[in-house]
Structure 1
């Protein structure tokens, strides 16, 4: 019976995988199947990506549309931050989860198969990755957990969780120990997911190739090496497959803006909650969301954004609130949902190299990320490109797959190798990982976007669109 170990390195750019910096990941990629055309979802943010990974659906299907968002029915006076469990549960409105599709663990449970999560990320992200853990009696642990039986179980087995740091090496290393020394040998899950917060934390706070960022990436790779060594020492090692992934990439942030302040200076009543003196709620991000008190304001907002040299094309949940051609539909990206912002602004990135020679820079709106820090969330090719490697078990050896793939295709692939159907998932099993004949080179497309921009995209063999990059026409 195949078992699967999944390891996520948050934010890792595929062009940073090499034998010198990430020897264990590079070796795994060479030994297994590497997907050259793996992509994130839009917006390319972690708490949008994690539900997409675990439900096999894009944001328009599962309903988690941004890291930070506004929902007047839940919190009319403030923004919701999905890194916080309390805000995730507030969005659930008394239900188990705010997600509107079943998670991987829920798909596995009827077959008496067990899914376990070990997370060095935020508590909110961990809840979204395994929302039904309590109901299913399954293992879910996050480095921010302090109370409850699972936190006590880990503390008794391995001691206290280290404090958060930049780089977050102590917590990444400890999470690896929780998986290798406790969860895998004691709980023996059929599928385990380890979520590592590096290199994302260090990308944000130090830049893509800062000295401490490289140390963090090496530390995350070392954790992967320990997992591979554990797997290879098991009597059923040939039946234990590994999937290594990242949820998004990064660009270097150049040109920090506060869109709310920019709108205020232009005369708009903008804020972070729909107070009596606010007409536009703005959620800061690499692709900021704007919720309008009155949709008739949309043309004015669009005119303002179109005049800004840092602005990219405008996206809309319902493009009909603007004259034709002024906004692209969020549905084109699989991101239109009732929770989506009325308008989503984007920033105009470039392919220019940063101070380390890494291609990709973009303006951004993020109060807690410094100028020159790594940023993600938009449609730049460096934000959308992800790592995806499958090795061991039934996966092909020494292969580079050209098949179009994104985060929503990973859970269906896991279910496929377990012999289960991916009912209700938008993604499909990546059969190129097990059968060379199934590897289809995707068709390339260009889609005209407002403001003189073009969206590069792939079209899969099944007809599904995979956005690749936004660029100037």
Structure 2
């Protein structure tokens, strides 16, 4: 009798699909030849890691799972407080304090456990991201391992066994240095311990690169290309195992990324601009702060006292800035926000109780950077121009890697041009395992990857527009059946 299928998902944080090549990533290229490439695969908005990976494991957009950004303001507490989701200990405290409602939707680990199956996680991302892959692993007795951070690891006895076998967790390197030791450690931990000893029904192996190196050196820089090649070599070890053993054991192998990168070309200050417009901004709630500007490459503004007149004034001040891209506020209707010139947050599936009063992206363009990579943007941080960024609505930020291979994927070397997205992965995994999806899932089963004719379904496109004076914003979405995908958003003057 054949074993039940098992799934291994390998993720490369921040890898642009157009950086996969025969020369730079021969092993990912090899997987493309063995399976099906999702050529129109996208992430969610905001295109940030700790919104995207929760969308992966819940099969839902941020309005449904509640991780509205890498950082947000929690206004359910008095006083409101600033939340940084990179903190694994804080995330655990929030989940316990909320009665298990850190996510507003059930996640893959929970659904698998209810059907008597298991999810294993090995990750070199931040401790918070590692926890978000399976935030209830310790409650369910599942394995979750960080390549660097003990506070994200469970069970402790599994970590102790692996350290006895492989050596201790390597320390996280300074952010200006590519992370090689962590990628090596989690790959060995999977091949030498987690697979032979634990054999989860679903495993997530997440390389936290090339994201960090892109942020500090540039998306096409030599250092970034070097760490991409290094991660691909680690993936090659996994692919060799899969060819020798995993495929015959019924393992379906998926390769993903959570978002792409574009390049910052012009530095600005949102705080300074809002102060000049008559507001009293700050980066966290506090006395005298009337609008919180959450730090990051996607704009998130929380008003101390919410009223439509102040909101309209805030949006008008933003639309007058040359650096401002698409803007979203609470829905007036399905398309328009309550502030003139803004879109409804519903259009980008970002309308959650934790969501900011004003969400915006920085203005982007299609310029090429110093490495010949398309996509440029204004940005607000203390780093030099020319470095990798993400969070917004440029198609290169939204573009994500999607490659599926295994016995369930009959098309070798094929490409599907259908729109697909990170929310589709969990429903597809559950379908392969015979586990029912939940009504909270906004993704769909990727039937085109599981069929011999992947391109016989036809998508539908929508284009929306909102104006305020000379400010004109455009948003494009695509649909396959009941699933919706954000294709891009931009400003036209």
Please state how far the C-alpha of 1:438 moved relative to its aligned partner: 5.7
Q: Secondary structure at the match of 2:284?
A: coil
Greater shift after overlay, 7-16 or 160-169? 160-169
Partner of 2:324, secondary structure, is: coil
Give how far 1:380 is off.
Answer: 0.5
Q: For residues 225 and 427 of structure 1, what CA distance do their matches in structure 2 show?
A: 29
Cα deviations across residues 31-74 of structure 1 (Å, max 9, x unaligned)? 20101111000000000011100010000000110101111334
Of 76, 82, 87, the residue aligned with 1:84 is: 87
> What is the SS of the residue equivalent to 2:86?
coil
Partner of 1:292: 303
Residue 357 (structure 1) shift:
0.7
Runs of 4+ in 1 over 6 A off after TM superposition: none
TM-score computed with the length of structure 2 as normaliser? 0.91
Map Cα deviations across residues 399-440 of structure 1 (whole Å, 9 max, x no partner). 111222111100110111112221232211100111134642
Equivalent residue number for residue 442 of structure 2: 426
Tell me if 1:379 matches 2:393. yes
Aligned to 1:18: 21
Assess if the C-alpha contact under 8 Å between 1:33 and 1:399 holds in 2: yes
Give 1:441 deviation, angstroms.
3.4
Mapped pair 1:459 → 2:474: no
Q: 1:99 aligns to what? A: 103
Alignment of 1:89-128 (within 5 A): 89-92=92-95, 93-128=97-132
- Equivalent of 2:316, from 303, 318, 343? 303
Structure 1 residues 299-327: Cα deviation after superposition (integer angstroms, max 9, x where no partner): 21112111111111211134589766421
Distance (whole Å) between structure 2 residues aligned to residue 133 and residue 342 of structure 1: 33
Match in the other structure for 1:34:
37
Instruction: Report the alpha carbon displacement of residue 128 of structure 1 after superposing the two structures with TM.
Output: 1.1
CA distance in 2, matches of 1:235, 1:31: 14
Runs of 5+ unmatched residues, structure 1: none
- State the alpha-carbon separation in 1 of the partners of residues 5 and 55 from structure 2: 23
Point out where structure 2 has 5 or more consecutive residues left out of the alignment: none
Q: Check 1:236–1:324 CA distance in 2 against 1; reply closer, same or farther (3 A cut).
A: closer
2:218 aligned residue: 207
How many residue pairs align between the two structures?
471
Give the conservation status (yes or no) of the 8 Å contact 1:77–1:273: no
Q: Is the 8 A contact 1:52 1:58 kept in 2?
A: yes
Q: Is the 8 A contact 2:13 2:258 kept in 1?
A: yes
More strand as a share of residues: 2
Measure how far apart 1:250 and its partner are.
0.4
Question: Are residues 167 and 138 of structure 1, via their aligned partners in 2, closer, same or farther at CA, if it must alter by over 3 Å?
Answer: same
Q: CA RMSD in A?
A: 1.9
Q: How many Å apart are 1:135 and its aligned residue?
A: 1.6
Q: Give the TM-score normalised by the residue count of structure 1.
A: 0.95
Secondary structure in structure 1 of the residue aligned to 2:463? strand
1:65 to 56, 64, 68: 68
